[in-house]
Amino acid sequence: MEETPPKYCKFCFGTEEDNDMSFVHPCRCRGSIHWVHNQCLHMWFSKANAVQQVMCIQCQTRYQKQLTLKSWRQWTIPRLGIDFFGVLEISTDLWITYRTILGFVGMMNGTKGIFRELILCTMWKCFVASGRRFCFYGNLGLRLASSIFRISIDDYDERREITARLPTDMHWEQISRSSVLNSQ
Ligand SMILES: [Zn+2]
Ligand SMILES: [Zn+2]
């Protein structure tokens, strides 16, 4: 049988002998970047940009985060960590959204021109409803949630094993790609 290579963290290079921090394998990456300390991964999330907090940049696997309720004695005040530009972006998003809704209502009432409002809708779709912004708000929500929830990352192999055990006649891939769910 093949000998399992020693685990070491891709961020701090610590091994199992150095300390008893728990390891996780959150994505498809193999080899020298297979393992990472749970703690180091969370440290990385606190510094990484919105997209990097959602998926591994190397292998594009989306992290599966789980929330477990903390005991109420461990609840804390949320630290949002938003800087000036964050506030500016959120304000801009809110303003464009508000303006788009207002314009849409105006268009339906026949008080506003269709073409200008359609341009605004497209702008909203590109800037506010973009993947990057969804990541941003998703992470913001997670940070809010972290005051009362413990956030853990699923192990990629364990998750795959569970998915593999699901009934095969369900065809999850096809369902998720079906036109019914993706019609918008
Ligand atoms: Zn580490
Ligand atoms: Zn990866």
pLDDT surpassing 70 at residue 51: yes
Q: If you measure from the C-alpha of residue 33 to the centroid of ligand 1, how many angstroms do you get, rounded to a whole number? A: 11
Residues 74 and 57 in one domain: no
Residue ranges making up the domain that contains 22: 1-63
Q: If you measure from the C-alpha of residue 34 to the centroid of ligand 1, how many angstroms do you get, rounded to a whole number? A: 12
Q: If you measure from the C-alpha of residue 20 to the centroid of ligand 2, how many angstroms do you get, rounded to a whole number? A: 23
**145 and 60 in contact (C-beta within 8 Å)?**
no
Q: What is the mean pLDDT of the chain?
A: 85
Q: What per-residue confidence (pLDDT) applies to 3?
A: 66
CATH of the domain at 20: 3.30.40.10
Residues 13 and 53 in one domain: yes
121 lies in some domain: yes
Q: If you measure from the C-alpha of residue 161 to the centroid of ligand 1, how many angstroms do you get, rounded to a whole number? A: 25
Q: Which amino acid is at 2?
A: E
Residues 87 and 47 in one domain: no
151 lies in some domain: yes
Name the residue with higher pLDDT: 170 or 11.
11
Among 58-62, 79-83, 130-134, 149-153, which is the least confidently predicted range? 79-83
What residues are neighbours of ligand 2 (ion), with CB under 5 Å? 27, 29, 56, 58-59
Q: What is the pLDDT of residues 83-98, one digit of tens each?
A: 898 899 999 999 999 9
Residues 140 and 109 in one domain: yes
Q: What per-residue confidence (pLDDT) applies to 170?
A: 59
Q: What per-residue confidence (pLDDT) applies to 81?
A: 76
Residues 73 and 45 in one domain: no
Enter the tokens of residue 156.
């990629």
**How far apart, in whole angstroms, are the C-alpha atoms of residue 71 and residue 31?**
37
**How far apart, in whole angstroms, are the C-alpha atoms of residue 179 and residue 176?**
9
Residues 38 and 92 in one domain: no
Q: What is the pLDDT of residues 10-26, one digit of tens each?
A: 999 998 888 888 999 99
Among the bound ligands, name the one nearest to the CA of residue 15.
1
Residues 44 and 78 in one domain: no
Name the residue with higher pLDDT: 23 or 173.
23
Q: What per-residue confidence (pLDDT) applies to 148?
A: 92
Q: If you measure from the C-alpha of residue 94 to the centroid of ligand 1, how many angstroms do you get, rounded to a whole number? A: 38
Q: What per-residue confidence (pLDDT) applies to 168?
A: 63
Q: What per-residue confidence (pLDDT) applies to 179?
A: 60
**Contacts of 99 by beta carbon, 8 Å cutoff, 6+ apart:** 120
Q: What per-residue confidence (pLDDT) applies to 2?
A: 58
Q: What per-residue confidence (pLDDT) applies to 158?
A: 87
pLDDT surpassing 60 at residue 115: yes
Q: Rounded to an integer, what is the distance from CA 72 to the centroid of its chain?
A: 25
pTM for the model: 0.67
Residues 6 and 23 in one domain: yes
Residues 59 and 79 in one domain: no
Q: If you measure from the C-alpha of residue 28 to the centroid of ligand 1, how many angstroms do you get, rounded to a whole number? A: 18
Residues 57 and 88 in one domain: no
Count of structural domains within the chain: 2
Residues 52 and 112 in one domain: no
